[in-house]
Amino acid sequence: MPLLRDPLLVLARSSRVKRLVSTMPVSSGIVRSYVPGEDTASAVLAVAALVDDGLTATLDYLGEDTRDRTQADGCVEAYLDLLRELSLRGLTRHAEVSVKLSAIGQAIPDAGAGKVALENARTICRAARNAGTTVTLDMEDHTTTDRTLAVLRELRQDFPETGAVIQAMLHRSEADCRALAHEGSRVRLCKGAYAEPTEVAFADGVEVDKSYVRCLKVLLAGQGYPMIATHDPRMVDIAAALASRYGRARGTYEFQMLFGIRPEEQKRLAAEGESVRTYVPYGEEWYGYLMRRLAEKPANLAFFARSLVSKT
């Protein structure tokens, strides 16, 4: 049974809601506050502005649950184009890319889908390495965790710099962190953005936070490179205290936050000497991403509902 922690995430699966919302222009306030634009040029522009503020970036070409090969290949092309542009502008030292396997073939209904996603991911990893940067595999809902970690293991044989993502809300995550906290292993820790069943995930926010702290301890005490992805001020403070308790020098871990969320805090941490990376999503397929962000911030809902009503 899906956990109704976030009814909006359930509503988001309705194709009527998707049709209505997807026709909003990207320039409309609520979309623009989370997504800087739909093309490579606007993504690169956003990165350049972040770099001017002392931040680094990870870019996500939006798309997920892609059901056909042409669209999956188009997504790979978009990443290659982005990496070329970043390289031309000398930005790859400051920017890596985040990739969802379901956008590059994992969700194609065919027995060979895993192979398509793996080959596509390899193509992006190769281009990223040639451009002097890295890839992180985003984590999607719990039905994909094992497959994503299996692809990660394969990729890391040739591209050990490939980053993983662990979602603290899942019961399994502390054990996954243990397995991944080895030298050279880049691991992003987030709370988790999907509506998950209680059989596999903590339902209560306090339990998710406790799990987040347990995972933080494993990653910060370990040998890898933790990427602490949260906007939660308590988690940020706890992470900083744990980093110092475990003797972590600055630069041996980083904070990550999403584009448009707590931008002043991102700059403040960077000004204090912390490494801070902003996750920059861009592209035309912003619907799923926007709905997850709205579900996290109920205060946005009234504003969002008004913009929808004005369209009907």
Site for ligand FAD, rule CB under 6 A: 138-139, 165, 167, 188, 190-194, 229-232, 256-258, 261, 279, 293, 296-297
- Min dist. Cβ of residue 262 to ligand FAD (A): 6
The span from the CA of 150 to the CA of 161, in Å, is 15
Q: Which one, 81 or 232, has the nearer CB to ligand FAD?
A: 232
Respond yes or no: is residue 188 known to be catalytic. Answer: yes
Is 138 a catalytic site residue?
Answer: yes
CB of residue 98 vs ligand FAD: minimum separation in angstroms? 7
Q: Which class for 235: exposed (0-12), middle (13-18), buried (19 or more C-beta within 10 A)? A: buried
5, 6, 60, 138: the active-site residue: 138
* Whether the Cβ atoms of residue 192 and residue 6 lie closer than 8 Å to each other: no
Minimum CB distance to ligand FAD smaller for 68 or for 153: 153
> At its nearest, how many Å lie between ligand FAD and the CB of residue 124?
16
* Residue with Cβ nearer ligand FAD (87 or 148): 148
Give CA–CA dist 294/74, Å, rounded.
27
Taking the alpha carbons at both ends of the chain, their separation in whole angstroms is 32
Total residue count of the chain as it appears in this document: 312
To ligand FAD, the closest distance from the beta carbon of 297 in angstroms equals 4
Contacts of 248 (CB under 8 A, 6+ apart): 220
From the list 5, 186, 188, 293, the catalytic residue is 188
Residue 28 C-alpha from the chain's centroid: 22
Q: Which is nearer to ligand FAD, 73 or 232 (CB)?
A: 232
Which residues are annotated as catalytic?
138, 188
